[in-house]
Structure 1
Amino acid sequence: MSEHAVAQAQRAERTLTGIRRLAAGLVFIHGAARLSVGGVVPFGAWLDGIGFPLGLGIASFVTAFELLCAPLLAFGPRRWHTPVALVFATIYGFGLWLVHWPAGWFVVGLGRNGMEYSVCLIGLFLAIAWRGWPESALLRR
């Protein structure tokens, strides 16, 4: 492999590391904010209200996953990146479906609480998962 190709590969890896850490930071802040304002119980009650069983358990899991697994995604071993990113994509996919899709596309400006931010996060998490797919020992038999 030429020096140029090696340099390009290293640059691409550094870029993806930055994107991975940014996405992890965003979801960590999301969970920390929910916890700090006492939003876990209301989130659970809302989930109960729309028909999910064990709403508080789901809300607690999502919050704990954001707080515990975002640092793992940002700084943990590469083998964890794919499974953690796939769980985050699933969590935010449900959030998009339940909360943001009905509000339309725009988060601010031409709308409120829309799905554009969620679509971006889900895309980032799927790209992170795809990058680590062959290396993820957790997903191998």
Structure 2
Amino acid sequence: TVSRITCISIVGKQNNPLHIHIFPPPNTAQTDPDPSILLNYHFLTHTTLDVFALRLPQKTADQDFGLLYAVSEDLAAYGWLTNTGVKFVVFVSCVGVGGGIREGELKSVFKELQTAYIALVCNPFYDSDNLEKKPITSKKFISEVKRIGESWVPSSAV
């Protein structure tokens, strides 16, 4: 089995969740996620904020925080902080993969997420005044996050 992204979370600079996208296991119906799974990822995303806060004094902005923590034997959380204080958290399932993924394998994912986020906030028609106050609703941004999560393949699987 190869590693796969199970969830991508975007967290605002005020530590408020802006978007959480869950990726169901392969070969399952693409329906709305089970509310308990969504709630679980909300909780897991919030627990990563403590790790960001602890590491922040040693890090510069716009940086890969790497492995934030191992949630379980087969799930790990990785993080990235933008220079504006927005945090990207990617949860990776490593079922059947010994040792998880190598350092830096998610860098391309984080760069693509940052590019999509920049395109969102630079869009003159998007309500950026409420961007930090309420979840992201842009269909283009949401579809881009979905594409990024579904297309990622770890280098060990290539």
In terms of fraction of residues, the more helix-rich structure is 1
In terms of fraction of residues, the more strand-rich structure is 2
Same fold by TM-score greater than 0.5:
no
Q: TM-score, normalised by structure 2?
A: 0.26
Higher RCO, 1 vs 2 (CA within 8 Å, ≥6 residues apart)? 2
